[in-house]
Amino acid sequence: MNILIKLSLAGALGLVSVAGAAQEMKSGNLMIMDPWVRFTIEGRPAGGYMKVQNSGAQADKLLSATSPLAERVEIHTSFMKDGIMKMRPVAHIDVPAKGYVELKSGGLHFMIFGLKPGLKTGDKLPLSIVFEKAGTVNVEAEIRAGGKMKMKMKMKM
């Protein structure tokens, strides 16, 4: 009985944290929506994703990012070559005026190297994102399981 109650409570808490996961951070004309990081095994770089919306009449540029819990963060783009998904660093990401850019799996993304060991799904990774015009915007990206990485891990098991 006790165990049942604990389990259902854990389930309810899980639902609450999922519902509260979608984050927004506004800075000037920029809005950072739903920043998250894909959980990865220790020692592997992790992908970081979010949507950056610009309500201003001037375009901006995402120049770089850092995290106190990672060695370095690169900006990557993904592309197909000979049927294989590859990626390479890019210098910046354009944020169009009165528009948005989405950092997502298989497209532009943050590549986060040297994550502090012990981070797990549900933890928040602080990210300081530097824009050419808007300056530095601090967000907390939730670490989530998901996508291709999860499927790979399932196949290995």
Contact positions vs Cu ion (CB under 5 A):
76, 87, 111
Contact by Cβ (8 Å): 50, 36: yes
DSSP annotation of 45: -
**Token couple for 114:** 């040297």
Question: Residue 109 CB, nearest distance to Cu ion (Å)?
Answer: 6
Between 51 and 104, whose beta carbon lies closer to Cu ion?
A: 104
Rounded to a whole number of angstroms, the minimum distance from the CB of residue 48 to Cu ion is 9
Residues 6+ apart with CB under 8 A from 111: 45, 46, 47, 48, 73, 74, 75, 76, 87, 89
Q: Closest CB to Cu ion among 15 and 79?
A: 79
**Which residue of this chain has its Cβ atom nearest to Cu ion in the complex?**
76
Give 103 or 139: the residue with its C-beta nearer to Cu ion: 103
Least distance between Cu ion and beta carbon 28 (Å): 28
Cβ 9 to Cu ion shortest distance, Å: 38
Question: How far apart (Å, rounded) are the C-alpha atoms in residues 32 and 84?
Answer: 30
